[in-house]
A and B are shown apart, each in its own frame.
Chain A
Amino acid sequence: MTYLRNVFFTAILALGFSSLTTTASACSLTVANMNWASANLMAEVDKFILENGFGCEVELVEGATMPTFTSMAEKGEPDVAPEFWANAALVPLQAAEGEGTIVTLNKAPITGLGEGWWIPPATLEAHPELTTAEAILARPDLFPHPEDPSKGAFVGCPAGWGCQLINAQQYIGWDMEAKGWLLVDPGSAAGLDGSMAKAVERGENWFGYYWSPTSLIGKYGMVPVDMGDWGGDDNWHNCVVKPEQDCGDPKATSWIKSEVYTIASANFTEQAGQDGIFYLRSRTWPGPVMNSMLVYMAENQAEGADAAIEFLQSHEDVWKDWVGSDMRIKIKNAL
């Protein structure tokens, strides 16, 4: 019995020692690792560059948009949110910037991103005239609803997401019911992804809501639909984003521009200095590169960390201008 107990305690001690590691570094930063693929990849790339180029100690902090923002504004932590979808928090973000707790360093960390309506490339190839929403809405027969083939199926946004209200209002605004369309609620992210993936894999037509950068858009080369002119701020903010009972007569409009920023805490500007600010300012991912990396992640079921190394190895032309030449060498050596 005592023997067993000894073994047990030795094992516990061994566990304790193995977890002891000590490092000391001049600067120590935390980076928000949001729970979707593109943000995860950006966080891992930032981590690698800040660690190996700047010599900082970087810790990733898991998070979602609003909790991360609140924590940054109130506690100054994490120090960097690489891909922050700011539409949800424009007013509090301005307030935090006024207090100096948060700085917006990059207003376009990824180009060509945004929400809207999409169709598969095969559909466009077969019907080259379907480039605009107007043209697609005239052809519900090409996108038959499985439960009522006389109507067209427009796949909206899952119940409960902010975009569900917007798609429902756009459905009214574009007068889609009269044009012979049914709004399909895919129920969940998996439902939305699955309905698109299934249709494209089978070569069927599909018309619905999605957003970029995402691996699915990159993987299937989905084509954004030209939704025409912007229907005005008032229409969007006071009608399209509201439930139907609050505003019953929305006008058809293109999607609002998604404000995605890289934001950093005051601590980041102190610790990483001008070089760090320069890095985040110039760090702009071209949309197609981001999409191709997301496809890489999805196809290889790769984690952000692996994809970050793959990106740094294969896309040096993209990241070489983000840092000074001495850091570029340090980073290349670390790969």
Chain B
Amino acid sequence: MSFFSEIPTMGRESLRDFKKGIDLNFKEFSRSYGDGIEGFFDPLLMFLVWLEKLLVNSPWPLVILVLAGLAWIGSRNWKLVAGTIVCFMLIGYFGMWKDTMSTIAIISVATLVCISIGIPLGILMSRSRKLEAGITPILDVMQTVPSFVYLIPIIMLLGIGKVPGLIAVCIYAVPPIVRLTNLGIREVDKECLEAVDSFGATSWQRLTRVQMPLALPTIFAGVNQTIMMALAMVVIASMIGVRGLGVPVLRAVSNQYLALGMLNGLAIVALAIIFDRVSQQYGKRLQKHREGRNL
């Protein structure tokens, strides 16, 4: 009867030893390799600190000018540029300038890291079915595993601060760009590729001259998704000591400061909308060549 009332378990003792074993092994690993891994990320940390200092210490009109300029380059849309300027003025007016700059710094670096890892990975995936079958489940895990779960080993390995925060953000934000790069390249017309092959292109030429340009709009949708997901992780990253808009949000949550939470939450939303619209507009411009096509 006990078989039906109790699900078979591996037993208290062995389960405990099992968990202890994993913990101990990881601690051992962290003790022997932690310093090396930390050292490996040092250049990234320096870049992050430099960018944040640059954004925080530059005169604000200059920063807004640069951001507005980027919005113009991306979207060629005056309304969007005006919206960007107004949003950043408001953010400054409500005293969130410094936090917003910190957030922009980490989001930009996270996006760069994701792009530089994600696009090559996506290209590799598009070339081999086996690799695709192997990487896809890993991407699924990365997107769905609760972030608190991987925060624990990251803290043990790298402590708290910008780099562990950045890694946490990237784990969550890199999957869409990998997926969409893979998809974009796989979607390129067979006829196109046949034509390229018949002209005797090398596989490098085939990739850089044909597949990548044709896949660019899809890849750009991936970049857009990656930025959005990175912004969604701002608050989580603040839980392991990353400065930025997430910190006041956490403070607001645990003290029930309504206004503080709303203001900083809206600042994150404003950043998200600006980044999203600009990158979407840019992606649409890349797709212009498709408009005249008959399908």
Residues of A with Cβ closer than 8 Å to B?
Answer: 18, 146-148, 158-161, 164, 184-188, 190-191, 194-195, 197-199, 201-202, 299-302
Evaluate whether A202 and B239 lie within 8 angstroms (CB atoms) in the complex, with A146-B159, A148-B49, A190-B152 already known: no
User: Does B20 lie within 8 Å of A187, measured CB to CB?
Assistant: no
Quick one: closest A residue to B158, CB to CB? A198
Known: A160-B254, A198-B157. 10 other contacts (CB 8 A): A18-B5, A146-B159, A146-B161, A184-B160, A186-B241, A191-B240, A197-B155, A198-B155, A198-B156, A299-B20
| Complex contacts, A191 vs chain B, CB 8 Å | 155, 160, 239-241
Report Cα–Cα, A161/B239, bound state, in Å: 13
Query: Footprint of A on B, CB under 8 Å?
Result: 5, 16, 19-20, 27, 30-31, 34-35, 45, 49, 148, 151-152, 155-163, 238-243, 246-248, 250-255
Instruction: List chain B residues, Cβ under 8 A from A190.
Output: 148, 151-152, 155, 239-240
Is the CB–CB distance between B239 and A187 below 8 Å?
yes
Return chain A residues, CB-CB under 8 Å to B162: 147
* Residues of B with C-beta under 8 A to A198: 30, 34, 155-159
A159-B156 contact given A147-B161, A186-B241, CB 8 Å threshold: no
Nearest chain B CB to A196 CB, angstrom units: 10
**CB nearest to B15 among chain A residues:** A301
CB distance A301 to B19 under 8 Å?
A: yes
Residues of chain B within 8 A of A185, CB atoms compared: 241, 243, 247
- A146, A158, A299: the one contacting B45 at CB < 8 Å is A146
Interface majority SS (helix, strand, loop, mixed), chain B: helix
Which residue of the partner chain, among A187, A195, A199, A299, contacts B242 with CB atoms under 8 Å? Answer: A187
Contacts of B155 in A (CB 8 A): 190-191, 194-195, 197-198
Complex Cα distance A68/B199, Å? 78
Complex partner residue of A147 from B49, B238, B248, CB under 8 angstroms: B49
Give the distance in Å from the alpha carbon of A187 to the alpha carbon of B239 in the complex: 4
Q: Which residue of B lies closest to A299 (CB)?
A: B20
Cα–Cα distance between A216 and B27 once the two chains are bound (Å) = 15
List of A residues within 8 angstroms of B34 by Cβ: 198, 202
Question: How many residue pairs at the A-B interface have CB separations less than 8 Å?
Answer: 94
Listed from nearest, the 6 A-B pairs whose CB atoms lie closest are A160-B254, A194-B155, A188-B239, A159-B251, A160-B251, A187-B239
Residues of chain B within 8 A (CB-CB) of A202 are 30-31, 34-35
Contact partners of B159 in chain A: CB under 8 A: 146, 194-195, 198-199
Contact status A201-B240, CB under 8 Å: no
Q: A300 vs B159: C-alpha distance in the bound complex, in angstroms? A: 24
| Chain A hits for B253, CB < 8 A | 160
Residue ID in chain A nearest B38 by CB atoms: A146
Expressed in whole angstroms, the minimum distance between the Cβ of B75 and any Cβ of chain A is 34
Specify which of B151, B162, B240 lies most central, judged by the most chain A CB atoms within 10 Å of its CB. B240
Q: Which of B30, B157, B240, B255 contacts A188 (CB 8 A)?
A: B240
CB distance from A245 to the nearest CB of B (A): 12
Provide the residues of chain B in CB contact with A197, threshold 8 Å.
155-156
Instruction: Tell me the smallest distance from the CB of B34 to a CB of chain A, in Å.
Output: 6
- A300, closest chain B residue (CB): B16
Contact indicator A158/B250 (Cβ below 8 Å): yes
Q: Cα distance A300–B148 when bound, in Å?
A: 21
B49 touches A159 (CB 8 A): no
Output the least CB separation between B227 and chain A (Å).
22
The distance from the CB of B127 to the nearest CB of chain A, in whole angstroms, is 39
* A316 to B: closest C-beta gap in Å: 24
* Cβ contacts under 8 Å, A199 to chain B: 159
Could you pull out 7 A-B pairs where Cβ atoms are within 8 angstroms? A18-B5, A146-B159, A147-B161, A164-B251, A190-B239, A194-B152, A194-B240
Structural contact, A301 and B148, CB atoms closer than 8 A: no
A165 to B72: give the CA distance in the assembly, Å: 42
Shortest B157–chain A CB gap in Å is 8
CB distance from A199 to the nearest CB of B (A): 7
A18: B residues at CB distance < 8 A: 5
Distance in angstroms between the alpha carbons of A306 and B240 in the assembled complex: 32
Given contacts A147-B45, A184-B241, A187-B238, is CB(A301)–CB(B16) below 8 Å? yes
Q: Are B160 and A187 in contact (CB under 8 A)?
A: yes
Interface centre among B31, B35, B241, B242 (most CB of A within 10 A): B241
Contact A301 B20 (CB under 8 A): yes
Which of A160, A299, A302 has the most chain B CB atoms closer than 10 A to its own CB? A160
Whether B160 pairs with A194 at a CB distance below 8 angstroms is yes
**In angstroms, how far is the closest chain B Cβ from the Cβ of A243?**
11
Residues A201 and B27 in contact in the complex (CB < 8 Å), given A147-B45, A147-B161, A161-B254:
yes
Q: Closest CB of chain A to B259's CB: distance in Å? A: 14
Min distance, Cβ B4 to any Cβ of chain A, angstroms: 8
Q: How far is the CA of A33 from the CA of B163 in the complex (A)?
A: 38
* Chain A residues near B252 (CB-CB < 8 A): 160
Report if A186-B20 is in contact (Cβ < 8 Å); known contacts: A160-B253, A191-B239, A201-B27: no
